[in-house]
A and B are shown apart, each in its own frame.
Chain A
Amino acid sequence: MKKYTRSMGTALACFLVVIALNFFLPRMLPGNPIAYLTGFAEEDMTPRQYEYYRSALHLDESLPAQFMYYLQSLLDGSLGYSYKKEAVVSELIFDRLGNTLQITLPAVLLSAALGLVWGLSCGFHKNGLADRASTSLLIVLNALPTFLIALVLVIVFGFKARWLPYAGLNSAGVPAGGAEYVLDRLRHLVLPVASLALAALPSRYLMMRNMAAQAADEKYVLYARARGLPPGLIERGYILRNIAQPFVTMAGMSVSTCVGGSLVIENVFSINGMGTLLSDAVYTLDYPLMQGILFVTTLIMVISIVAADIICVLIDPRVRWGERV
């Protein structure tokens, strides 16, 4: 139990690091913080504008007071104000967050499930033909950058075969609501989710495969075999139960990697998600928006780690029984 609270503590510490980074970065870098916090060049501002921004951003107050204002903006959920887009940062992000999660969550679940089943069976039958073939295949896949997988899928299934749409999340002209809209959305989601899942699959597969291969050499597996238990039972009832926990932890930690991957995927498929918002923010030098996105991504990461730890506690019989006894 102690192990899990500690990893939650680390997640929280990481969260604080990001908050501190967000706060100090514009104030510590060479150059005027006003330029960083508004995104406008100092020379383009009239003195009145300059004074206005200076007091609106509380830059005329002491550093601790500024930090309090920053924390306040995080707590009330506004995350600051984007002067470039003239909108509250959190509204901009939450408009897009749904689209990003629609790609990320199915991809995370799909790649985890596939990696679990495939890796387990290959690790259990290690050095067999299937194991060698699929391990080398996934090692090659591992060497492919995410965007290349996406591009290949677009070219093969979108351009050549014309089976699936490859841009946006909805076709023009399909009215919102109704079964047709949902089907259309699902068709649009196939390629992005598939590319992200394929990009995330190798690391999960390889981890699962190596752990299963290691566990297959353990004495308890030998004993189970000697008792004549069926291989399927040994695989699921003995090996899986022993290596499930590190796998869940790893899957939880890699959600943030998948969010990173979805930034790339969104750019390839021109989906209006956080990724396109982030590249937009970087191109237009919209610093408050960049910071807000970093904050929200970290938040997603912390949530997924905590969720993974809760699952670990739930599936850990030692914890369950330890509490009962």
Chain B
Amino acid sequence: MMQFMLLFSRQGKLRLQKWYVAHPDKLKKKITRELITTILARKPKMCSFLEWRDLKIVYKRYASLYFCCAIEQDDNELLTLEVIHRYVELLDKYFGSVCELDIIFNFEKAYFILDELLLGGEIQETSKKIVLKAIAAQDLLQEEETPQGFLMIMA
């Protein structure tokens, strides 16, 4: 089971955090700081996996963003890399060639997409088509019910 996923920039700014186990905020911050420092210090050709406490960390860099997951001893590292990749693909399809700014300004969307892909730390739906369809259905619901969206921009 995945215990948490963190997205952070090359400058060490946290962009998204998803916790599948309950930790106090203080501990979360400590873990985040520790992992960001550790991973940013690693060189490009190094292995994408590392041991950390009793967990395995799997990370990968996409442009300016690092995606980092903590999984348990039983979990499969290579496939976790592909969970990350699938998530990136989903973001990319949804935003249309995604960049860090998209995730900053639409962080809530990034969460909604992640919730369709993973639930409770386990993979929920691996089909790209189905996930995108679910997100599109959500967007459709919003557009139907919020005609004022347009007016707000004008205001």
Partners in one complex: no
Binding site for B on A (CB under 8 A): none
Binding site for A on B (CB under 8 A): none
